[in-house]
């Protein structure tokens, strides 16, 4: 029965007019809409956060253009599956003049070999590729493939978009219409959904499921005979619809009780990556590897994990152990090339190394301090002696005059003013309290007494 499906599936839009959000792409007169309505589409990639309609949009396009539609999930498919689909697409074109559409969800999870397997089919027009990704395609999609695709950026759904979605769900879903549902307050619904349509509809599913279970056992899975009779006669005064009033308190209490269901692909994603990062920052390798295992078992993108370790290596270890950044970057490259399950090994190695490394956030604090100064002071003039003087006029104006080439002096150092006059003597970088940065502190203190280290 229809109510067995998740609400997000039951009310999935079937046309652009039903599609909520992304007006900059699918609104009247927009670039993508014009392409679709012309019937002449080329390969493109949809980049945006989860739950904003990437898969739905691809499905609508295939229906609108009445083309064969193949779909692959990069999480569970490899080169063999890609080649099988391309082979079917080639056979299909022998009997159908319309080029098939190949939709690849989470295309950023394909490694180089898997992406290369697509290249020929996209290039010769065997398929029109529509890729969906939550990650920046500039970093995650091979340059040859990316150069053959347009990139359309989807935005997080706004509060108004989500309210439209709620209204549409209540008005069109047959199961929800069996109840008298009043949205007395929607702030919690909007906040917990985080701009994710799927998450919003899952929350509504959970709320209605809880109400049904508490009242008479009616649920999306089964109904007793009395419930069926009552629902079939829902307009009769004898069988009035059950009233459900949704408030902020109800949403919060329900989600706390159903945290495992709600957080499967949402909030828990952020909680566990937070625990992972904090364990490495806190120098606990046992906890770091545990949270790493939790993410891998839960299906987390290994490149997302590796990317966060690159950030941590620079932000939290920094100059205390510069090799940490090199290892983190090498781990990212290794995981990108070999994928899972073997990729878990360099991920574990890197997590343990980062957790057991000395910590320093001095470089992170220095750039933030410098950016704060720039924001407050504006664009201060470059001192004349630091400016380049490629023309005679610039030399006459004093450009480069007084500059001292450090390598001409003992120790490859000369005392010279390198900051704008307005902020001369401002200490921006403060070395951390570790062996390597204590050496850096002594060097700066000897060379630059004006900074008062």
pLDDT at 225 over 60: no
Query: pLDDT by residue (tens digit) across 11-66?
Result: 888 888 888 888 888 888 888 888 888 888 888 999 888 888 888 898 888 888 88
Most confidently modeled range among 93-97, 210-214, 339-343: 339-343
**Poorest-pLDDT segment among 41-50, 88-97, 209-218, 352-361:** 209-218
Reported confidence tier of residue 395, pLDDT bands at 50, 70, 90 = confident
pLDDT at 416 over 80: yes
Query: pLDDT by residue (tens digit) across 80-103?
Result: 788 888 888 887 766 666 788 889
pLDDT of residue 258: 52
Q: What angle do CA 61, 135, 264 make, to 5 degrees?
A: 90
pLDDT at 78 over 90: no
Selection from 53, 62, 145 nearest residue 105 by Cα: 53
The dihedral of CA 19, 25, 31, 32: what is its sign?
A: negative
CA 17 to centroid of chain Cα atoms? 27
pLDDT of residue 108: 82
* Range 419-443 average pLDDT: 90
Q: Which CATH class is domain 365-451?
A: mainly alpha
pLDDT of residue 326: 97
Q: Give the rounded percent of residues in the chain with a pLDDT score beyond 90.
A: 21
Tokens of 99: 């080029």
pLDDT of residue 446: 86
pLDDT of residue 264: 41
* Range 304-333 average pLDDT: 95
The dihedral of CA 348, 350, 351, 353: what is its sign?
A: positive
Contact 120, 83 (CB under 8 A): no
Q: 22-153: which CATH architecture?
A: 3-Layer(aba) Sandwich (3.40)
pLDDT of residue 213: 66
**Poorest-pLDDT segment among 180-189, 253-262, 400-409, 425-434:** 253-262
Work out the number of other CB atoms within 10 angstroms of the CB of residue 125: 11
Domain boundaries, the chain: 22-153, 159-262, 267-356, 365-451
Contact 309, 291 (CB under 8 A): no
Q: 267-356: which CATH architecture?
A: Up-down Bundle (1.20)
Q: What are the backbone angles phi and psi of residue 73, rounded to the nearest 5°? A: -100, 125
Tokens of 293: 């295992």
Residue 5's Cβ-count burial label (10 Å; 0-12, 13-18, 19+) is middle
- Please state the pTM of the whole predicted model: 0.53
Query: pLDDT by residue (tens digit) across 263-287?
Result: 444 445 667 888 899 999 999 999 9
3-state SS class at 217: coil
Query: pLDDT by residue (tens digit) across 148-186?
Result: 888 889 988 888 999 999 999 999 888 888 888 889 888
Cα(249)–Cα(252) distance, integer angstroms: 5
């Amino acid at each position: 029965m229809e109510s067995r499906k998740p609400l997000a599936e039951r009310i999935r839009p079937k046309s652009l007019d039903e599609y909520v959000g992304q007006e900059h792409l699918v609104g009247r007169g927009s670039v993508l809409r014009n392409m679709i309505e012309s019937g002449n589409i080329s390969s493109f990639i949809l980049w945006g956060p989860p739950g904003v309609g990437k898969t739905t949009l691809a499905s609508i396009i295939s229906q609108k253009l009445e083309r064969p539609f193949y779909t692959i999930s990069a999480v569970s498919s490899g080169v063999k599956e890609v080649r099988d689909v391309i082979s079917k697409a080639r056979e299909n074109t022998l009997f159908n003049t319309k080029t098939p559409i190949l939709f690849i969800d989470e295309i950023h999870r394909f490694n180089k070999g898997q992406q290369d397997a697509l290249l020929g089919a996209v290039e010769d027009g065997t398929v029109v590729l529509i890729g969906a990704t939550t990650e920046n395609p500039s970093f995650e999609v091979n340059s040859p493939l990316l150069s053959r695709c347009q990139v359309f950026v989807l935005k997080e759904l706004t509060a108004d978009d989500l309210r439209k979605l709620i209204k549409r769900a209540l008005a069109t879903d047959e199961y929800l219409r069996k109840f008298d549902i009043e949205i007395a307050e929607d702030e919690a619904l909007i906040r917990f959904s985080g701009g994710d349509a799927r998450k919003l509809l899952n929350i509504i599913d959970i709320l209605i499921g809880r109400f049904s279970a508490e009242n008479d056992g009616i649920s999306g899975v089964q109904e007793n005979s009395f419930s069926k009779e009552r629902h079939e006669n829902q307009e009769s005064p004898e069988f009035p619809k059950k009233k459900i009033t949704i408030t902020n308190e109800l949403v919060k209490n329900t989600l706390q009780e159903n945290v495992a269901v709600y957080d499967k692909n949402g909030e828990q994603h952020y909680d566990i990556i937070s625990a992972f990062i904090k364990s490495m920052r806190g120098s606990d390798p046992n906890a770091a590897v545990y949270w790493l295992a939790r993410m891998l078992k839960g299906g987390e993108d290994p490149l997302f994990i590796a990317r966060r370790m690159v950030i941590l290596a620079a932000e939290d270890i920094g100059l205390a152990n510069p090799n940490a950044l090199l290892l983190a970057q090498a781990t990212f490259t290794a995981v990108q090339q070999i994928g899972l399950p073997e990729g878990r090994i360099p991920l574990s190695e890197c997590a343990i190394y980062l957790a057991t490394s000395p910590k320093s956030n001095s470089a992170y604090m220095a750039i933030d301090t410098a950016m704060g100064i720039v924001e407050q002071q504006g664009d201060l003039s470059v001192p004349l002696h630091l400016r380049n003087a490629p023309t005679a006029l610039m030399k006459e104006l004093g450009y480069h005059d007084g500059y001292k080439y450090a390598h001409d002096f003992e120790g490859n150092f000369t005392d010279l003013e390198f900051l704008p006059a307005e902020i001369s003597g401002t200490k921006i970088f403060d070395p951390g309290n570790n062996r390597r940065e204590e050496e850096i502190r002594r060097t700066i203190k000897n060379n630059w007494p004006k900074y008062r280290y």
